[in-house]
Each structure stands twice: as structure tokens, then as C-alpha cells.
Structure 1
Amino acid sequence: MLANIFYFVVFPGFLFTAVIGLLASWVDRKVTARIQWRVGPPWYQNFVDFFKLLGKETIVPKAAKKTGFLLAPLIGLIGVTLVSLILWRMNLEPNISFMGDIIVLIYLCMLPSLAIIIGGSASGNPLAALGASREMKLILADELPFIIAIFTPLVRIASIRIGSIVLYQQANGMMLTHHLSSF
């Protein structure tokens, strides 16, 4: 039980994913700054921004539905954390995967987008509702290519387990050209 809590919270769970995400965001900001002939932020800037935002007051608009408005970011964060946890654990220990875990992963990848829709719809702001409708259109447009890109290697391997993909790639190398067959 304690091991599962450690995996969810520390490695490869929330803390590890948050640190890697903040560092990846720093690389993105630094490269963007260099392209624009600027110096860019120091490596710890995203951490400083994060802790500064933790001290800010949470303001709920009067017209907002409080439950949906406050739960939406938490739902998105849980989805991203679970996806990273599943992917890291399956890469480290491919034999613990279960039948259909790739389908669970696809559903969990949709949670952040659904959280944006829930948060925008619950805010009571007409502009946020417009953003929520745009996110719905993006989900409808993006999901089919995303599913095709995921299921192309699954057809090649003939399994719907992430562990099977990892074991196949360990034996045969990365699958870089298999997606060309879907076009």
C-alpha cells in the first residue's frame, strides 16, 4: 500500500512529473527567448512562478457554479498525473500491465480537455463558454487522428497492452515508421 502511494505521489507520480514538466516548460521558454534574441528566464523561474501562484487568493465569480469551477482543475491534474504514472510504470515494469490499459490511457488523456470544458461552462462567463465550445470542437477534431496514431502500432503488435508495446520495442527497436502505414 505504501509503495503505491509512493508511486503516485513521488516517483513516477505527481512530484516527478511536476518537476519534469516545469523543467520542460523552462526549456521551451528558453528556446523561444533565444529565437527572439533574448536571454530568457533562469532554470528556476517556473518554480518561483508556481510558488507565487500558490499564495494567490482563489476568486470564484458570483455567477459560477462553485463545485464545477473548483473541481475542474483538480480533475485535469488527476488525469495528467495518472497518465504519467501509468506510462512511467509500464516503461519501468512492462509485465504489470493489464489487458486494455491503452484504452484506459486514452480516456485519461481526455480528462484535461474535459476539465477545461467543465471549468469554462461552470464559470458563468460567456467568453469562457465560448472557449469551452472551442475545446469541444478541438476534441472532436483531434481524437480520431490520436486514436489512429495509437492503434497503428497496436495492430502491428496485436495486443492492447502498454507492456506489450514496451517489450516489442525492447526486442525490435523503436517504431518510427509504423505510423506511415495509417496514411
Structure 2
Amino acid sequence: MTTLFHYLIFPGLLFALVVGMIASWIERKVTARVQWRVGPPMLQPLYDVMKLFIKENIVPEHAHYLTFAAAPLISFVSAGLAATIIGMSIFFPSSGFQGDLIVVAYLLVIPALSLILGAAASANPLASLGASREMKMVLSYELIFWIALIVAWIKTGGLLNLSLFAVNGAVGASVSGAIAFALMLITMQAKLGRVPFDAAEAETEISGGTYIEYSGPLLGFFKMSQYIMLVAVPALVSIIFLGGASIGKYVILLVLIILAENTNPRLKITQCLRLFWFFLLPVGLIAIILATLGY
């Protein structure tokens, strides 16, 4: 019963969802103030989800129903499970298991893959274009994400247990660790689908792209996945590169996300590919070499 409470309530699914909603509200409020708007009330993210869950699900006539409907659920479950494992490693370190870092890394890519499948299954041309863009984004930033993890793995002597990273000290304090941390910050923005890496959604270009055909509870599950990811990804970065997670470290990373979102234009998908493959990839390989040499 206690285990079920930890996974569903604290520090699991419900806790991550609530914190994610608060973080989303802060993000929207700051963005509004930057644009000289008042911004939403604090409970607006909750209102958004509640509104979606009382609306009707509308499935496109030619969509593959099973894939279209399953994608948001898979996204929500995988994001929630990743956040739960991360939360357990923070609040209950003894509950961790060897290799939980690898499990979390795999779980965090599933929401993006689910979004691709769901958009492709909708039989909408704009959604398919968004799915194509999202696929290219995943192929570009995931490699950099894993390179940053490899640097951390080398610097910690082969650690794969999240709860032990805080004991081992901040990986970002070394030269190679600092480079990997910088790479991870850029990758974090892409994983969260925030500007400048939001080409797959791009409301002004393709009307929401991957989300264009979703409505009602199915869109609600995608929304909740986004809230949870806004907690899980920065928390993971904090644990690995900043010597453990804390409220202060999370707030700093959230501020960096908001600053990047409000000070950058949207990149074209070709620009994203060039950035990750032709600039960040060589930098990441240099970081691996430096880590191997002990720097």
C-alpha cells in the first residue's frame, strides 16, 4: 500500500503533475509579463485540463483509431513513470535500483515517440508534417542527450543509479562536465518542445501540427504529459550535473527555460539539425575525450 502511495501520490504521479502545473503557470505568467499582458490565474493549468476532460473526443474519420487514442495514454504513463522514479531517487534514495538512469532516459523519449505515432495516425496533412518534424528533432537531440549522459557516466566511474549522483558530487564542476551540462541545457529545451525547438507544433505555421486533431480527454492526457515532463527533465538534469535536486536548482533551470523561450526565434527544422549534428555533436565528442582523460 505504501509503495502504491509513493508511485501514485507522493513523490509520484500526482505530485509531479501538481508541480508541473505550477511550473507551467509560472512560465505562462512570466511570458505574459514580458509581452505586457496580465497572464493567467494560478489555477489556469488545472482549469485547462478539467475543461478538456468534460469535452467530447473527436476522432478524424480516416484516422487509425487505436493508435490515435493510445498515443496520449502511453505518453502520460511513460512521463509519469519517469517522474516517479526520479522523485523516488530524490526523496527515498534507498528505493533506487541499479540502472534506473537508463530506464528514465528511455521513458523520457516515449512521449515524443507517442506524439509522432498519434499525429501520423490522425490522417491529417498538417499533423503528418508535424510528426515528420518531431521525428527529425528526436533523431537530432537524442544523440546529444546520450552523449551528455555518457560524459556523466565516465566522470562518476560508471554510475547508473540516480540516487548515488548526489553523493558523488556535481558532475558539472569539471571541464568535460560543464560542457556536457551546457549540451544538456540545450537538449532539455528541445525535449520539452519549447522555443526555439517547437517547429513540430508551430501554431503560426501548421496550426499546432502534431496536436491539430486532438481534443477532449485525449488532448488532456498530452497536456498532463507536458506538465510532468516540465518537472522530470529539469529534475534529472539537476540530479546528474548539479549534485542533486533541490527547489532552488529546479527554479534556476525553470528560469533558464523561460528565458530561452522568450528571447529566441523559432528555428527551422534544417537549422535544428545543423545545430545538433554539425555543431553540438563534435563538441560532445570532445567532452567525452576530455572526460576519458580525467578533465
Q: Which moved more, 1:133-142 or 1:149-158?
A: 149-158
CA distance in 2, matches of 1:57, 1:141: 36
Q: Is the 8 A contact 1:73 1:115 kept in 2?
A: yes
Amino acid at match of 2:108: C
Q: Map residues 31-180 of structure 1 onto 2, 5 A cutoff.
A: 31-158=30-157, 159-169=159-169, 174-177=170-173, 178-180=177-179
Q: Is the 8 A contact 1:157 1:164 kept in 2?
A: no
Q: TM-score, normalised by structure 1?
A: 0.91
Cα RMSD, aligned residues only: 1.5
Deviation at 1:134, TM superposition (A): 1.0
CA distance in 2, matches of 1:96, 1:51: 33
Q: Is the 8 A contact 2:156 2:171 kept in 1?
A: no
Q: Is the 8 A contact 1:72 1:115 kept in 2?
A: yes
Q: Which moved more, 1:152-161 or 1:62-71?
A: 152-161
Amino acid at match of 1:99: Q
Deviation at 1:93, TM superposition (A): 2.4
CA distance in 2, matches of 1:22, 1:96: 26
Runs of 4+ in 1 over 6 A off after TM superposition: none
CA distance in 2, matches of 1:74, 1:18: 15
Question: Kindly, what percent of the aligned residue pairs are identical?
Answer: 41
Q: Relative contact order (alpha carbons < 8 A, sep ≥ 6): 1 or 2 greater?
A: 2
Amino acid at match of 1:180: I
Q: Is the 8 A contact 1:91 1:166 kept in 2?
A: no
Total equivalences in the alignment: 178
Q: Which runs of 5+ in 1 are unaligned?
A: none
Partner SS for 1:176: helix
Deviation at 1:97, TM superposition (A): 2.1
